[in-house]
């Protein structure tokens, strides 16, 4: 009888140990999965600039995502009452309660982490009126520079997420993957 009791004790002890290990593994998998979902895409090692703006002047218009993970929020400061033309655009991400600027567009040009990515000669366009948002996708946006003289405007400028560099990039050429997603005619 004692032998049967010891045999059953070993069997149940083994089952309990296996259950504890399975629960621990399940807990770790769920914790890692939750951490992956909560964290956004990693950024390059740069010194972030904290965005400060008047919430009454800046509007959140879109969340950019890459493969389901959040890249950042598009916030614009409109320069007209119709909310068609904007003077400033920020792609931001909230990190530790602060809105960090990932990309900025304003009268001075296009800026990635504070460094100039693309600029314009406003004299060519008769001065700066603003930008028009032409298209927004999951991980890109297309804008157009507008001069004060309404007949002068730039070709479309694409700002897209480059997953290889973990940063936004601006180009005056519409990237092929953007063309594949939308019907675009120049």
Q: What is the per-residue DSSP string for the chain?
A: -HHHHHHHHHHHHHHHHHHHHHHHHHHHHHHHHHHHHHS-----S---EE----TTTEEEEEEEEETTEEEEEEEEEESSTTS-EEEEEEEEEEETTEEEEEEEEETTEEEETTEEEE---GGGGTSEEEEEEEEE-SSEEEEEEEESSTT-BPPPEEEEEETTTTEEEEESSPPHHHHHHS----
Task: Give the model confidence (pLDDT) of 58-79 as tens digits.
Answer: 888 899 998 889 999 999 998 8
Give the start-to-end residue ranges of the domains of the chain. Answer: 1-38, 49-181
For the segment 152-172, what is each residue's pLDDT rounded down to a tens digit? 888 889 999 988 888 899 988
Higher per-residue confidence, 95 vs 88: 88
**pTM value?**
0.67
């Amino acid at each position: 009888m004692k032998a049967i009791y010891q045999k059953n004790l070993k069997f149940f002890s083994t089952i309990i140990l296996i259950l504890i290990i399975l629960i621990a593994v399940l807990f770790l998998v769920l914790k890692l999965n939750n951490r992956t979902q909560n964290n956004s895409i990693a950024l390059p090692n740069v010194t972030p600039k904290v965005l400060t703006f008047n919430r009454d002047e800046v509007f959140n218009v879109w969340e950019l995502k890459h493969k389901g993970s959040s890249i950042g929020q598009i916030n614009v400061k409109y320069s007209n009452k119709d909310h068609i033309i904007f003077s400033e655009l920020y792609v931001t991400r909230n990190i530790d309660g602060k809105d960090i600027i990932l990309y900025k567009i304003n009268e001075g040009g296009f800026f990635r982490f504070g460094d100039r990515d693309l600029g314009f000669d406003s004299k060519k366009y008769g001065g700066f009126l603003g930008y028009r948002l032409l298209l927004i996708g999951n991980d890109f946006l297309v804008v157009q520079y507008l001069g004060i003289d309404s007949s002068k405007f730039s070709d479309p400028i694409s700002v897209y997420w480059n997953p290889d560099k973990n940063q936004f990039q601006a180009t005056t050429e519409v990237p092929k993957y953007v063309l594949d997603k939308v019907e675009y005619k120049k």
